Amino acid sequence: MESTRTSPPLRRRILVTGGAGFLGSHLCDALARAGHDLLCVDNYYTGSKDNIAHLIGQPFFELMRHDVTFPLYVETDEIFNLACPASPIHYQFNPVQTIKTSVHGAINMLGLAKRVRAKILQASTSEVYGDPTVHPQEETYWGNTNPIGLRSCYDEGKRCAETLFFDYHRQHHLKIKVARIFNTYGPRMHPNDGRVVSNFIMQALRNDPITIYGAGSQTRSFCYVDDLIAGLIALMDSPDDVSGPINLGNPDEFTIAELAALIIELTGSRSSLVRKPLPSDDPKQRCPDIARARQALHWEPTVKLRQGLAKTIDYFDEQLKKGGWSAIGTGR
């Protein structure tokens, strides 16, 4: 079959929304290494200039403080739309803003892509599967989400964004790419981000009690950030007829109790375990089926949890010794 792939120019103008966040900053690094011109847009809601400080001032890197819920008029060849808080604590802090970021943000970035005929990738999420009744989750599964719960601002916002992407594709023939990202971890997660890997590592390094929500029997599948970024770039660079949605994540599945035990072992911590109530609608099991990514992108993760955690622990340890981080949500 003839491929619809058109060779992209070697050096492209690429917009990364949410570029000062955890994933966005690693994506900017990888795109900079590939020699592209970058425009990083962020409102610093959960991200920070610290994450991209090393890029500021470089001739190929432009930084813009902007909230994607407002229109943006720039020229670009490709858009990676990552802007959105990803940690349950932070996306539930201002749920209305979270939905606006997902939905108005998608409309604004799709409108921009349509005007300049840019290719656009959406950072969607495994949360579109909700508390899944199918395991592992394939892209054909429509999910089991609660439309009115505490997580809905994120889950339903991201589901609506996917709808918008596919409607722009069908109605306006936009080149779209939708990645369903599963739990990803690594250096530059914020220590107060509230997600499980950063919480457990910080608690372990400080010998504080490790907070297990519920029985700890719920599962997640953790992908190291470098693997995930390689998947996002492979998806953006894939032939035009590969729109997704495509699961990107590591299919090795662990219980939260197993994760705690591994982090205690790797840090040599004296932390005890404490139980806290399970947050509402917390998914009981999550594991990606990545057959589609393997086949369409020739992509699969290579970093084992133990290896990735060791690198992440080193990063947190180093930061702690240096005296820490800027506070989250200070707009810097």
Nearest-approach distance from CB 324 to ligand UDP, in angstroms:
19
* Binding partner of 202, given ligand NAD, ligand UDP, none, CB within 5-8 angstroms per partner class: none
Residue 69 or 146 with smaller CB distance to ligand NAD: 69
CA distance 49 to 108: 23
* Binding partner of 68, given ligand NAD, ligand UDP, none, CB within 5-8 angstroms per partner class: ligand NAD
* Binding partner of 22, given ligand UDP, ligand NAD, none, CB within 5-8 angstroms per partner class: ligand NAD
**What are the residues binding ligand UDP (CB under 6 A)?**
87-88, 183, 195-196, 199, 211-213, 218, 220, 256, 278-279, 282
Q: Which residues pair with 176 in a beta bridge?
A: 120
Please report the beta strands in 71-218, taking only residues with DSSP state E, as ranges in sequence order.
78-81, 119-125, 176-181, 184-185, 210-213
Residue 22 or 316 with smaller CB distance to ligand NAD: 22
Nearest-approach distance from CB 220 to ligand UDP, in angstroms:
5
**What are the residues binding ligand NAD (CB under 6 A)?**
17-18, 20-24, 42-47, 67-69, 82-86, 101, 105, 123, 125, 181, 183-184
Nearest-approach distance from CB 78 to ligand NAD, in angstroms:
16
* Binding partner of 69, given ligand NAD, ligand UDP, none, CB within 5-8 angstroms per partner class: ligand NAD
Nearest-approach distance from CB 268 to ligand NAD, in angstroms:
26
Q: Which residues pair with 224 in a beta bridge?
A: 185
Residues designated catalytic = 154
Token digits for 165? 């992407």
Residue 83, amino acid: A
3-state SS assignment for residue 255: strand
Residue 136: is the preceding peptide bond cis (ω within 30°)?
A: yes
Of 156, 167, 101, 165, the C-alpha closest to 129 is: 156
* Binding partner of 164, given ligand UDP, ligand NAD, none, CB within 5-8 angstroms per partner class: none
Residue 297 or 303 with smaller CB distance to ligand UDP: 303
Helical (H) or strand (E) element with 221: strand 219-221
Of 134, 158, 149, the C-alpha closest to 82 is: 158
Between strands 219-221 and 253-255, the pairing is antiparallel
Nearest-approach distance from CB 108 to ligand UDP, in angstroms:
25
Token digits for 194? 């509230």
